[in-house]
């Protein structure tokens, strides 16, 4: 896909061009493991451009980035940028110390292969050591965030008992709710919030779009998509096939909600929809070969490349959408 396609407006409710770049955005941040560093880059550049944020929805790594952004904004834009950078550095530094890292990474890299049927996280990580918990605790004051967040937050998780979406909003945010949103059950122990077990939010909403539109007062909504949507190479071995299936699955909920929103926009169903413009920045369009990369790779060079790609993609999106 050419670079001219990476920044495009999906739908627009008005024929006349809106003020550009927008002064305020709502954001939908997709999850995708270490690919979330691309979103870090997008947020970093939006902060530099002075754009404000109304509401943010996220699943998994998208939820983590959303919470870090909102927490940092309590101290200002520079602190938000610093908080995001510090978190991703922490995660990279901690990667070499993960318990049974080689096994966990092998399982993920093989696309949840036969190893996942032989071992559970309760076996290869019996003490539930989780560097994400430590990084979130270090970077985010959840008590203050619940009380003073400058942004409306919607953090998605999957309720295990019935497979339904649970959205944690500002008053409910805590380290457990964010960990629940990022809980891959073949890698992490199930996360319980008030006695209810949860898994990764990407299984049911990656990220939530319709609830975000309902919560948002901004006329512009930007989707940051990090999970590759297309693969040019036919997968032929088991690990490649399952990896591609995972990519399709984690984009399916996003595509379904987008289609529903497009119908509403075409019908001009409500005053909010009549003024809504939805845009998308896709990591795959900027980062060549992303579909072949491993979303468990926390190497600093790889994360920096993703961050820089996110910054570049944001500039292209702003320039071309405003053309």
Pairing type for strands 196-200 and 152-159 reads: antiparallel
- The neighbour count for residue 46, using CB atoms within 10 Å, is 25
Sign of CA pseudo-dihedral 23, 275, 201, 248: negative
CA–CA separation, 148 and 171 (whole Å): 10
**Nearest CA-CA partner of 207 in 244, 266, 252:** 252
* 165 class by beta-carbon count within 10 Å (0-12 exposed, 13-18 middle, 19+ buried): middle
**Nearest CA-CA partner of 113 in 222, 242, 20:** 242
Q: Which two tokens stand for residue 293?
A: 């990369």
* Paired residues of 159 in beta bridges: 198
Query: Are residues 62 and 224 in contact, defined by beta-carbon separation less than 8 angstroms?
Result: yes
Largest Cα separation within the chain, whole Å, is 59
Q: What is the pTM of this model?
A: 0.85
* 279 class by beta-carbon count within 10 Å (0-12 exposed, 13-18 middle, 19+ buried): buried
CA–CA separation, 206 and 283 (whole Å): 15
Q: Which two tokens stand for residue 203?
A: 């299984």
CA–CA separation, 178 and 176 (whole Å): 5
Q: Which two tokens stand for residue 134?
A: 């430590």
* Paired residues of 220 in beta bridges: 277
The DSSP output letter for 301 is H
* Paired residues of 191 in beta bridges: 198
CA–CA separation, 320 and 314 (whole Å): 10
> H/E/C letters for each residue in 120-136?
CHHHHCCCCCCHHHHHH
What pLDDT was estimated at residue 301? 96
Query: Which residues touch 23 (CB under 8 Å, ≥6 apart)?
Result: 51, 52
Main-chain dihedrals φ then ψ at residue 50, nearest 5 degrees: 80, 20
The DSSP output letter for 13 is S
Query: Are residues 41 and 309 in contact, defined by beta-carbon separation less than 8 angstroms?
Result: yes
Look at the block and give the residue holding tokens 């050419």: 2
Tens of pLDDT along the chain (323 residues) come to: 333 333 334 444 444 456 788 899 999 999 999 999 999 999 999 999 999 999 999 999 999 999 999 999 999 999 999 999 999 999 999 875 544 333 334 333 433 344 444 554 544 444 445 789 999 999 999 999 999 999 999 999 999 999 999 999 999 999 999 999 999 887 788 999 999 999 999 999 999 999 999 999 999 999 999 998 887 788 778 777 877 787 787 888 888 888 887 776 666 667 777 788 899 999 999 999 998 898 889 999 999 999 999 999 999 999 986 54
* 314 class by beta-carbon count within 10 Å (0-12 exposed, 13-18 middle, 19+ buried): buried
């Amino acid at each position: 896909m050419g670079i001219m396609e990476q920044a495009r407006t999906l739908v627009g409710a008005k024929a006349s061009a809106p003020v550009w770049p927008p002064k305020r955005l709502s954001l939908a941040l997709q999850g995708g493991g270490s690919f979330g560093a691309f979103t870090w880059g997008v947020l970093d550049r939006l902060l530099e451009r002075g754009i404000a944020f109304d509401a943010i929805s996220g699943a998994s790594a998208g939820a983590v980035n959303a919470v870090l952004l909102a927490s940092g904004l309590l101290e200002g834009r520079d602190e938000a940028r610093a908080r995001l950078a510090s978190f991703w550095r922490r995660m990279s530094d901690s990667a070499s110390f993960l318990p049974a890292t080689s096994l966990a990474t092998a399982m993920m890299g093989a696309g949840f292969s036969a190893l996942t049927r032989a071992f559970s996280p309760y076996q290869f990580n019996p003490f539930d050591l989780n560097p994400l918990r430590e990084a979130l605790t270090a970077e985010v004051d959840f008590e203050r965030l619940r009380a003073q967040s400058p942004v409306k937050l919607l953090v998605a998780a999957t309720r295990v008992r019935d497979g339904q979406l649970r959205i944690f909003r500002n008053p409910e945010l805590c380290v457990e709710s964010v960990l629940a949103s990022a809980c891959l059950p073949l890698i992490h122990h199930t996360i319980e919030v008030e006695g209810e077990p949860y898994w990764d939010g990407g299984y049911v909403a990656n990220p939530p779009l319709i609830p975000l539109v309902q919560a948002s007062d901004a006329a512009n909504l930007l989707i940051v998509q990090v999970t590759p949507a297309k693969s040019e190479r036919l997968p032929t071995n088991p690990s490649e096939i399952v990896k591609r299936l995972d990519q399709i699955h984690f984009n399916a909920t996003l595509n379904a909600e987008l289609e529903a929103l497009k119908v509403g926009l075409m019908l001009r169903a409500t005053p909010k929809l009549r003024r809504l413009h939805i845009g998308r920045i896709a990591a795959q369009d900027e980062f060549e070969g992303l579909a072949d990369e491993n979303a468990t790779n926390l190497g600093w060079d790889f994360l920096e490349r993703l961050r820089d790609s996110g910054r570049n993609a944001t500039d292209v999106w702003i320039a071309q959408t405003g053309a």
